[in-house]
Structure formats: C-alpha cells, structure tokens
Chains A and B, each alone.
Chain A
Amino acid sequence: MKHIKHITLAMAASMFVAGAATADDIELSTIGLSFSDGALAGLLSDAAATTDGITVTSEQLPFGQLFSAIEVRLQARNENPDLFFVDGPMTASYTMRGHLTALDDILPDASEIYTSAALQQGMVAGKLMSVPIESSTVVMLVNNSLFEAAGIEAPTNDPADRWTWEEVLAAGKTISELDESTWGFNFHYSDSPYMALVMPQSNGATLIGEDGVTATGYVDSPKFVEAMSTYAELYNTGIAPAGMYDYSLALELFLNGKVGMFAGVVSDAIAAEGRDGLDFTVAPMPYFEGGTPVTPTGSWHVGINPRTEHPEEAAKLVQALASPEFISAYFDKRANPPVLTEAWDSMSEKLDTPLWTLARYEIQNTAMARPSIGGWLEYDSILRNALREIQSGSDVAERLSAAAVEMNRELKKYAK
C-alpha cells in the first residue's frame, strides 16, 4: 500500500512538472554551439522560462559542423530554425543573404548595454542584426619552467612591457632547442584566421578592400606578406609545431608543459589554472616592432530567422538572452569575456584577477575584430587553407597571392 502511495505521488509530481510546459506554449527551435557539458540547452531553457509561454528545442553542434548545418537550414528558406547562433563576422553574410531580422526595435538600448567590440560585430549598415552573448580575447600563456630551463626572463603581464614578435622568435627558438618534444610557441587555433590575422593587423596591413570584395592588393600586400613570413618562420623552423590542427591536442601540449608560449583564449588560461604542476603566467599578445599592439577578438551572437512563424516570441527570447542574469549564468558555464558593459562591474568578484584584468585591458584598448564583410565565410576558409599550406612550407608571397585571386572570385557575388 505504501508503495502504491509513493508511485501515485511520483506520478502526480511528474504530471505537475510536465504541466510546466503546457500545450499552449510556443516552441522555438534553435541551433547553437555545443558546449563540452551540453549546458547550452539548459541555459536557453532557463532563459525561455523567464518569458511567458515559450519553450525551446536546442540543437547543439560542434564548431566544425555548425556553419555547414546552419547553411543547409537557412538555404531551405523556411521557418526553421526560429533562432540560431551567429559567429560575429558572419553577421554581415547572413544579413546580405536575407537570413537575419533587424533587432533595433527589440533592443533599443543595445548601444548602451553592450561592449563596443561585441556590439560592432552584430551591426550591419547601422542596424543591429544579431545580439552578442559572449566575446573572446587572446592572451599569451607563458610556461615559467621552460623559460627558467632556457635561462630567459619570461614576459610579464604588464601591457606596457608587451613583447614583440621578434622577441618571441628569439626566445621560442631557444626553448624549442631544449629537446625534440618541446616547442617555443604555438597558437591554440594555428590555422584559424581568428588568431593569425592579428599578425598582419599589428604590422599595419589592411585585410580587405573597402568594397569588401577585393582581396588582391590587400591579402598579398607587402605588409601582409611580411607579417605572415614571421608566421611561416615560427612553423617552418620548429619553433612551433606545424600541422597541429587538432585544437584540443594543441591545448593539451601546453597543459603538459611542452610549449613555452601559447596564444590562447581566456578559457585556456582557466583550464591551465586547473592543471597541477604547471607553472604559468599570462602575458599580453605580442606585436610587431614599429607596429601597433592588436589582439584578436570575436563574439558569438544570436539572430532571428526572418521567416520564423513566431517573431514575437523569438523577440521575447532575445530580450531574455540580453539580460544580466542570462549573461552571468552563461559566464559560469563558459568563462569568456562578458558582452554586457555592466557585467564587468556586477561580476567584479569573479573578474578581479590578473588574467581578467589583462583581458579587460585588451578588450578595451587593443581588440580588433575581423572584417565585417558579406563573404567572411569564403575569406576565412580560403585564408585557413593558405595558413595550413604556409605551415607546410609554401612560399608565403605566392600562396597569399593565390589566396587573394581565389577570394576575388568567391567574393564578387557580394559586390553591390
């Protein structure tokens, strides 16, 4: 009898919980980036729960598949998905192809609440097309033990003492000579324009013509080639491990004490803090002597499909995603620089560390976003292939020249 009572209670409880999502609720479909712990679905559901009568189905995909999956869905030009994740530089591309709804009316105070770097990546022709939910910046993680073994003084985390790429090359060479399985430097995402473009940007190169479709004369300009020759030197002389495109392996190599300097995102530094026996500090990203300090930045955004059958509900969900509560909860799952200006103060307890102090400085002073052009997907893909081939020993000037020709061909469809 007691068991029956318990079963009845359990059934009643489950019916009550199930009843939280009623038949009248509007279900919004989303496609987003998968977190390692699958937490995105819960975050979105929690955000939806703060609105009236909205539930969320969340499809989560790894970074490598997300863009293709979104392309396939959007090309169908139907109501699915209602909302989708947008990599900051892709905002212009989706907008030009009619895949995003303007959000100015939904978030009229956007220019006041978001950090400038994140907001700019969601703007196209003065309109807010996607709302940022997290941003990123890059710092250089320094393995103190390897510097000590090489007898070199390690760089500090003071932006005033920022190292030049020339210093990185010299120190990296000494460290890589310690033994065969040790490297002086590596980028976490070594074939990704997100990180590598910081080199030509720091050397004063312009990444694309003002029309957003002309690459020749920019991607193969002397300043661009000069900067990427340093990139080639890193990978062609054994200072950095060439051909390491498995990003988790690249991070693991640093965490195992095999890399002297590692350009990584803030969450890499947090991962390093949790690694026993790893003596490391954070330093600012290097720059070219005579050039400008530049750090990569990017941000993940959310946009609304203009063909959604539930525009009002989608707008409500976007407003929920812009709330400080959501941004804080999101930060707890993925510790990347918050996109709300006020979060830097309201979350100061969590952000008052040398790492976050440096990250904040870089975002406010040196962060430079990738170009906001319609053909970013094409630009990124072509340059990524060129970077891989430069790592494998291709002639830098020739390869960039070929990449520029390929970009011209693919970007011309975006010419106005």
Chain B
Amino acid sequence: MMTKKPDTPVAIPAANRFSRAARKKPILDPQRPSWATLLMFLLPAVALLIVFRLTPIGISIGGSFTSQSLLGETAFDGLGNYKELFSDPSFWNSVYVTLLFNVIINPLQIFVAFIMALLVFAPGRFLTFFRVSFFLPMTMSTALVAVMWNLLFDPNLGLVNSILAHTSMGRQGFFFDEDQALGSMIWISTWKGAGYYMIFLLAGLFRISEELYEAAHVDGASSWQQLRFITLPQMKRTFLFVFVADTTVNLLFFAPVFIITRGGPNGATDTLMYRAYESSFTFVDWGRALSLSCILLALVAIVACAQMLFFKPGEGE
C-alpha cells in the first residue's frame, strides 16, 4: 500500500532537532523546497542585483526629475529636464545619430562575425591561426583601438592617407569629414567587435547536430540549402543573444567618440551616450545627464524586447 506524501514538510520537534534521525533528514527536499530555503539561496544574488543594478537605475530615474543649483542643492523639477531635451534640436540629432549608427552597425557586425565564424568553422589548415587572428582585436582596449585608428586615419600623417594619396581616391577626411566620421566609427567598432561575436556564433555552429547535415547531404541538399534550412534556423537562439548583446553595447557606444571626435564634426558622431557624458562632466547638469541616461535605458529596453519578439525561437528550434 502506497502512503501519500504529506503536503507540507514534516515539522521536527525542537527537542529532537539535533537527534540522529533529524540530522539524516536532508536540508533541502529537492521536490518541495521551503520558501526559506529558496530565499536563502536567492538572497545573495537578489541583494547584489538590488544594490548594484536596481538602486542605481532607481536613483537615475528619480534624479532625472530633479535639478541642481550651483551649490549642489537638489530640487524636484518634474518633467523639466525632459521638456528641455525634447525642445532641443541637437538632442534629436543625437537620437538620429545613435539610431543610424545602430541600424547600420548591428546587422553589419553580426553579418561579418557570422561570415568569420563560418570561415573558421570548417576544418582546414591554419584554423587556429585564423581563429586567433580574428579574435585578437577584441583583446585590445577600446581606447587603444581608438588612438591607433585615429593615427592611421590621420588626414595629414596617417598611413592610410599616405597610401590613398597615390591612388585615384586621394586623401580622405575619415573622422575629420562630416560625411565619413560615422562610417569611420562603424569601421573601428566592427574591426574590434566582430571577432568577439564570432566566438558566440562559432559556439552556436558547434551546437548544431552533425546528423542534420548528414541527412540533408543524403537528400541532396546544396550548401546554400543547408545554410538556409539547417544552419540559420538552428542558430536562432544564438543570434538572439548576439543581437541583444551587440545592440546594447552599440547603443552605449562612447569611448572612440570621446577620444577622437567629441561628437563632431558638426554633430556627425554626437551619440546619446556622449551627450550624457558631456552634460554631466562638461556642462555640470546632472539632471539632464540622468534624463539622457533614462532615455538610453528605455531605448535599450525597447530594442531588446523587440529583438526578442522578432527572434523568438519557434517550436523545436
């Protein structure tokens, strides 16, 4: 005869709590852990999340509704910071630049990363050399990359222009040219970042079962058909992660703008992140800086949610 399991954990009388029998009782019943047990395990992570993530976000949101006097006195300002931002044409230019930058760089960077991943996925000679070479730019600091490409693209003494001067293209302005500055930023960011995302995409490629390709091969599927009907659908989860991570990083793109162009020429690289920095540390306007941070936060959240909906894996993927 089967005995029914009690719905609640058996309470151990206090007197017997340290008895041999009580000690044998597992602390955590894997099938019905108590709330206290769950809390015990979750608390450290939740506490860290609250202290280091949610509290700063809360402070930023609260601070965006305040303004500071020159002497540091904070006063509630309602939507004043937001109203001022929304009526400023240069703010809308920053929104445009940030979105344009992301619309171009995210697909481009992931496309390049995926091509690189495919190239180093197939067995071949010097595979490790190419994998390391593609990943190497990622190991350099962003500041160093910015300085290096700034020197290479220098309009007067840069190596790239020294070469271009001998071609029909002639010298180019790159960061110095209003029409080329954002493109140059996209170039250095892709140069540095594509290898990083290649690693995730490569891991995704390794996850796909070899049997699927073998079956497709037996059925006479071409390489393109294998890519279209096996690789891409099976990579959806990996693409989702890479897209969300890449977009988040690129929406917060900052260091090369700060180091090379400071938002110029003529606002061509004036991203929201740079504007937030400038508002806080140059213009000493913390309320506006926090409002810009909140707008960026909202933008990141909206874009990430949209990407998750768009790339949501279907049944069996």
- Where the two chains meet, the residues of A that have a C-beta atom closer than 8 Å to any C-beta of B are 67-68, 71-72, 75, 77, 96-98, 180-181, 241-244, 246, 249, 253, 374, 377-378, 381, 384-385, 388-389, 392, 394, 406, 409-410, 413-414
**Are A378 and B282 touching (Cβ within 8 A)?**
yes
Q: Knowing A96-B70, A243-B176, A249-B157 touch, does A385 contact B262 (C-beta < 8 A)? A: yes
Q: Supply 17 further A-B pairs (C-beta < 8 A) apart from A77-B72, A392-B177.
A: A97-B72, A181-B157, A242-B155, A242-B156, A243-B173, A243-B176, A244-B156, A246-B150, A374-B70, A378-B284, A381-B282, A385-B262, A388-B264, A406-B90, A409-B88, A413-B70, A414-B70
Q: Interface digits, B135-154 against A, CB 8 Å rule (1 contact, 0 not)?
A: 00000000000000011001
Measured between beta carbons, the chain A residues less than 8 angstroms from B285 are 410, 413
Measured between beta carbons, the chain A residues less than 8 angstroms from B262 are 384-385, 388
Number of A-B residue pairs at CB separation under 8 A:
74
Docked Cα-Cα span, A392 to B264, in Å, equals: 10
Docked Cα-Cα span, A321 to B264, in Å, equals: 40
Q: Out of A71, A98, A181, A384, which one reaches B284, CB within 8 Å?
A: A71
CB distance from B141 to the nearest CB of A (A): 15
Number of interface residues of B (CB under 8 A): 30
Q: Knowing A377-B284, A378-B283, A392-B265 touch, does A97 contact B70 (C-beta < 8 A)? A: yes
CB distance from B87 to the nearest CB of A (A): 11
**Are B176 and A392 touching (Cβ within 8 A)?**
yes
Q: Which residues, 264 to 289 on B, are CB-close (under 8 Å) to A?
A: 264-266, 278, 280-286
Docked Cα-Cα span, A102 to B283, in Å, equals: 24
Q: Out of A246, A249, A377, A394, which one reaches B282, CB within 8 Å?
A: A377
CB distance from B233 to the nearest CB of A (A): 47
Q: List 6 A-B contacts (CB under 8 A).
A: A242-B155, A243-B176, A378-B282, A384-B262, A385-B263, A406-B90
**Are B281 and A242 touching (Cβ within 8 A)?**
no
In chain A, what residue has the closest Cβ to B70? A97
Measured between beta carbons, the chain A residues less than 8 angstroms from B90 are 406
**Are B156 and A98 touching (Cβ within 8 A)?**
no
Docked Cα-Cα span, A394 to B267, in Å, equals: 12
In chain A, what residue has the closest Cβ to B181? A392
Docked Cα-Cα span, A75 to B280, in Å, equals: 10
Measured between beta carbons, the chain B residues less than 8 angstroms from A96 are 70
Q: Is B169 an interface residue (CB 8 A)?
A: no
Measured between beta carbons, the chain A residues less than 8 angstroms from B156 are 241-244
In chain B, what residue has the closest Cβ to A380? B282
Q: Is B215 an interface residue (CB 8 A)?
A: no
CB distance from B68 to the nearest CB of A (A): 9
Docked Cα-Cα span, A381 to B279, in Å, equals: 11
In chain B, what residue has the closest Cβ to A64? B259
Q: Knowing A97-B284, A242-B156, A377-B284 touch, does A389 contact B265 (C-beta < 8 A)? A: yes
Q: Out of B264, B281, B282, which one reaches A72, CB within 8 Å?
A: B281
Measured between beta carbons, the chain B residues less than 8 angstroms from A243 are 154-156, 173, 175-176
CB distance from A99 to the nearest CB of B (A): 9
Most buried by B among A68, A77, A241, A243: A243
In chain B, what residue has the closest Cβ to A180? B165
CB distance from B178 to the nearest CB of A (A): 7
Docked Cα-Cα span, A392 to B177, in Å, equals: 7
Q: Knowing A249-B157, A377-B284, A378-B282 touch, does A394 contact B72 (C-beta < 8 A)? A: no
In chain A, what residue has the closest Cβ to B157? A249
**Are A97 and B176 touching (Cβ within 8 A)?**
no
CB distance from B290 to the nearest CB of A (A): 12
Docked Cα-Cα span, A253 to B154, in Å, equals: 14
Most buried by B among A96, A381, A392, A414: A392
Q: Is B42 an interface residue (CB 8 A)?
A: no
Q: Knowing A98-B71, A243-B155, A249-B157 touch, does A392 contact B283 (C-beta < 8 A)? A: no
**Are A75 and B286 touching (Cβ within 8 A)?**
yes
Docked Cα-Cα span, A236 to B241, in Å, equals: 47
Measured between beta carbons, the chain A residues less than 8 angstroms from B282 are 377-378, 381
In chain A, what residue has the closest Cβ to B178? A392
Docked Cα-Cα span, A392 to B176, in Å, equals: 6
In chain A, what residue has the closest Cβ to B72? A77
Q: Out of A98, A241, A410, A413, which one reaches B72, CB within 8 Å?
A: A98
Measured between beta carbons, the chain B residues less than 8 angstroms from A77 are 72
In chain B, what residue has the closest Cβ to A191? B262
Docked Cα-Cα span, A77 to B150, in Å, equals: 37
**Are B154 and A381 touching (Cβ within 8 A)?**
no
Q: Out of B70, B151, B265, B278, which one reaches A381, CB within 8 Å?
A: B278
Measured between beta carbons, the chain B residues less than 8 angstroms from A381 are 278, 282-283
**Are A98 and B176 touching (Cβ within 8 A)?**
no
In chain B, what residue has the closest Cβ to A98? B71
Measured between beta carbons, the chain A residues less than 8 angstroms from B70 are 96-98, 374, 413-414
Docked Cα-Cα span, A75 to B156, in Å, equals: 40
In chain A, what residue has the closest Cβ to B280? A71
**Are B176 and A410 touching (Cβ within 8 A)?**
no
Measured between beta carbons, the chain A residues less than 8 angstroms from B155 are 241-243
**Are A388 and B265 touching (Cβ within 8 A)?**
yes
